Structures are given as C-alpha cells and as structure tokens.
A and B are shown apart, each in its own frame.
Chain A
Amino acid sequence: MSSAFKMNKIGIVIGVLILLLVVSIIFTIQNKPFTKIRKKAHQPKEYTSKGDNAKCLKCHTVSRYEINNPDDSTTVLLKRMPARCIIDTNRYYTSNHWDFKCTDCHSDAYSKVPHDSKLKYAQINTCLDCHAEDAKYAKFHFENIDTAFRKSMHFKNDTVNFNCWSCHNAHYNKTSMRDSLQDIKITVATDNAMCMKCHDTSTSNDYYEFYSKGKAKANIYEKHQWLPMLENHLLNVRCIDCHAAMDPKTLVAHTIQPKSLSVRACADCHSPNSILIKSLYKNRPQAGSRFGFLNPQTLQEQDIIGSNRNYYLDLIFLFVLGFAGFVILIHIIFRIIKKA
C-alpha cells in the first residue's frame, strides 16, 4: 500500500509545484500593471451649459414629450419622441464636448417648437472648423487626420455626405485610446461600435444605406468567417487595426483602405513584431520584454499566441531537451563501445 500511495503523492506534489511556479511567474508579471495609478481628477467640472440645455433636454431626454395644444390652451399634447432624438445626458456631459450648448452646433432656430423642418439640412460645423490650426489641439494632429480621411474608401465613395460625424458620435464622442490607462477591451469596444453603427450584422441598415447609395450591404460576420474565433477577435482587436493604413503622425489611423489591402495574415499580429504594438497599443509605454515575456504590455488583458512567448521558458525548454539529447548520445556511445 504505502509505496504506491507515496508515488502517487509525489506525483501530485510535483504537479502542484509546477502549477504554483506557473502561477507565480504569471502573477509577478501581472500584478504590477494591474494596479494603475491615475492622477486625482482636479476640481469637479464647472458646467456653464446646463441651464440653456435644459430647455432642449426637457423634450430630448424623454420618450413622450409635452407640447402645448394649439387648439386648447388649458391642455398639453403628449407626443412620441423618435428614439434617435433622445439624448443620454450622462454620456453627453462626460464626452469631449462636455460643456457645449446644443445651440453651439445646432441652429438657434431650434428653440422654436415644433422645429422648422428645413433646419434638418443646415450644415453643421466640421471638426476642423473648430479644431484646425489650434495649438491647444496640436497633439491630435487634426490636419493630418483630415488628410488621411480624405484618402479613405469612405470619403472616396461619398465625398458629399461622409464626414467626421459619420463615425464620431455627435453627442457622445470621447477619446478612449489616448488614455493609456484605459482597459484595452473598452477601447476596442468603443472604437468598433463606431464602425458597427453602419457595418452591423444585418443586411439592411438605414445609416449604411444613406451612404451606400443603394448598394447591397454585406453581413460583417459572413465576410470574416475566415478569421477563427471571430467573436473573440472582434472583442480584442479593432476594425481599424486591420482596415486602416497606419500613419506615423497620428495616434489613430484614419485611412480606411480597400478591402483587398486589409490585414489578412495571422502572423501580422501573431508574431513577436505584432502590428498591434504600433496600432492598438501605440499609446502604451513600449516594452521589449518583461520577465522574458515578449510584448508584455499586451499581457495585462490579452494573450496573443506567437506574440507573447517567453524567452526564458524557451531557453529552459531548449536547455533541458539539449541535455536529454546529450545524455542519450553518451548512452549510445557506451552501448556501441560495450556492445550492450
């Protein structure tokens, strides 16, 4: 009894030890980056716009708004607000344009209700109207982004309607990737949602069709079936990481290329010099290796086979295999000499 029992116990102990070793290696490299240090937000933001906006938001936050009954001044009519016109104030007041009055972008004439239907077609300022040639926003390189955008498939296909607002949500636009402490999966989700507004999995979508001029819409999932674990990939990489030509001057690549030029080779990402380091992770501190793991900055939240191999582990494996080979060689030599 005892001996067999002991052997099994030794096996279990060795197994547990190996497991512990693995855990501790990973734990060491993981633990530090997980505790992120963020500066305390300074003063709570002082809003100057909320008073004015309340006039618009009393209607634009509810699904049924009240409007004076033109036939009977003692009653009000309850009408339905189209879902597309309902504003999420939480997101609005935390966006990049957090302290904007509605009328900074929309015509003052909107204060009249019901709105004049011609207002719909009023031109709204583009990003560059406000942001161009402004030293305060120099780090964003708006001019370069504009040039890049003009080379994209979208702009080439529809120079009239397709503009920055087509992707950047007018009311909730918020930079994500620039925040190097942001969870990478949140950045991916935020950025992909911008594309999915048009390129969703349906075969028909109002947004898309407005720009495509009747051209049939492709189902995104069908077109990417060649990519295994599609859902997992789309939670971990951005559409633009494969579809946009990288531009060294800007943080976010804006030139959507023709589909024939999109990234298709797995090794573009699944290799030590992964393109993700220069795209998705461009704003993260570059790190060659940490405890032997290549591209460790991706390890906090992702595990990319081929890109995250461990140098020391490889070395240990090679050494042990080499040693075993050496012992075997000696053994062979002895066998030949002794003719055993």
Chain B
Amino acid sequence: MSTKRIYLYPKWLRLWHIINALLCLTLIFTGLSMQFSSKETILLNFFTSVRIHDITGISLAVNYLLFFIGNLATANKRHYRIPAKGFTGNIIKQLKYYLSGMFKGKKAPFPTTEEQKFNPVQQITYKTVMYFMVPVMVITGGLMFFHSVIPYRIYNINGPLFVDVVHLCGAFIITLFLLIHLYFATIGHTPTAHFKSIINGYHELDEEEK
C-alpha cells in the first residue's frame, strides 16, 4: 500500500512548534506552582518557579516572533486566511462531523490539502489563540516582569491585580486549548499519525483523501 504524502510543515514551523509546546508546558507547570504556592507544596517551590517562568516566558515571546515573522514572510499565512463566505456554516459542518459524522464513517468535510491544512474549527481556534491569546499573555506577562510599569491604579482598580487576573484567565484558556488540541491531534487516520507528521513534516493522506 503506497500512501501519498504531502509536505505541509516546513522546518522552521516544526522547530517553532516543538519549542512552543515545551515552553508552554513548562509555563503551565511553573504557573500552577506559583498560583498554588504554599510551604508544603508538592509542586515546584516558588523561587524556582519564578525564575523558570521568567526565562521560559521571555523565550516564548522570542519564539513567538519566529512564528509571526515566519508567517509574514512565507506562504504559511494562507492557512490562517479565513474565507470570505459561509465560514460560520462551515464551522457547524465541521463540528457536526466531529460529533456524529466521523462515527458514521462519513468523509471529513474539509480534508487536508496543500492549499488549506486547517479545517474551519482549527482555523478559528488557532487564529484566536495565536493572534489574540498569546499576544495577551506576552503583553500581560511582560508587564508583570517589568512590574513597575504597571500603573498603581487603573481608575479605581488595583493595576497589578488587574493584569494578574487577565494573565490568569488567558493561561486558563490556553491550557484548555492545549488539552483539546492534543486530543484532536489523535484524530488522524491512526491516532499517532498527526504526531508523526508534525515531527517529520509530511502529512499522510487518508484513503479517501487521495
């Protein structure tokens, strides 16, 4: 059986992706350690968490630049371009597929192609996470790192607290995204297929997709 492979993930993108994944996991773990800090913690101690969180946070911001510039400079940006028409309908179609279609053996409504590697659900979530959530986290994180730049009061509100809670909500949304992202990655033609392709760059087309 010869499977057809298409080259979807260029080297820079895979490099960015794996670094981003490791940094994200570290940030979530050290972030949790700080949020749930106590003297008898089973997580990392506060001091080490702060140091590691600072370093990984800055690295992630730099790594984000790689993604941002890479997407500007290469054709990869095409995958993030939301089509003009019928997008809401497409999202519903894709959700229906996840909820029932795939169990009835139906074809994926938006198969992976070289032109469009994301289905509409992926498009909207990736776009929100990468172009809204991550920047929010980088900005609020940066503010907390350069703590003194935060106004002591924003109107009647405690400035640092405000930045903190926004950062926290963002962290939560990204964690939720990560959980779902990891699970959806197992919905390939085999459960590990997508993991393999983000490492070697090639996407193996399903029987039907060929």
Contact = CB atoms under 8 A, between A and B. Distances in A.
A267 interface: yes
Interface residues of B, number: 49
Contacts of A271: 37-39, 46
Nearest to B180: A324
B138 interface: no
A27 B160 contact: no
Contacts of A88: none
A266 B37 contact: yes
B183 interface: yes
B168 interface: yes
Contact of A268 (B34, B39, B147): B39
Contacts of B187: 335
Contacts of A272: 38
B210 interface: no
Contacts of A2: 84-85
A34 to B, nearest CB: 6
B35 interface: yes
A309 B172 CA distance: 14
Contacts of A313: 165, 168-169
Interface stretch (A41-49, A135-143, A297-305): A297-305
A313 B161 CA distance: 14
Interface string B91-108: 000000010001111000
B164 A303 contact: yes
Contacts of A309: 35-36
Main secondary structure of the interface of A (DSSP, over half): helix
Interface stretch (A17-25, A79-87, A108-116, A119-127): A17-25
A74 interface: no
Interface string A299-339: 11111011111100100010011001100100100110010
Given A18-B169, A321-B175, A303 B160 contact: yes
A130 interface: no
B84 A3 contact: yes
A231 B33 CA distance: 24
B192 interface: no
Interface in A1-22: 1-4, 6-8, 11, 15, 18-19, 22
B68 interface: no
B179 A34 contact: no
A228 interface: yes
Nearest to B124: A7
A301 B156 CA distance: 11
Given A267-B45, A321-B179, A306 B34 contact: yes
A168 interface: no
A300 B84 CA distance: 48
Interface in B127-176: 128, 132, 147-148, 152, 156-158, 160-162, 164-166, 168-169, 172, 175-176
Interface of B: 34-39, 41, 45-47, 50-51, 54, 82-88, 98, 102-105, 124, 128, 132, 147-148, 152, 156-158, 160-162, 164-166, 168-169, 172, 175-176, 179-180, 183, 187
11 contacts: A3-B82, A232-B147, A267-B37, A299-B158, A305-B37, A313-B168, A321-B175, A324-B176, A324-B179, A325-B179, A335-B103
> What are the 10 A-B residue pairs with the smallest beta carbon separation, nearest first?
A306-B37, A266-B46, A303-B160, A303-B161, A3-B87, A4-B82, A338-B103, A271-B38, A317-B172, A340-B103
Interface of A: 1-4, 6-8, 11, 15, 18-19, 22-23, 25-27, 30-31, 34, 228-229, 231-232, 265-268, 270-273, 299-303, 305-310, 313, 317, 320-321, 324-325, 328, 331, 334-335, 338, 340
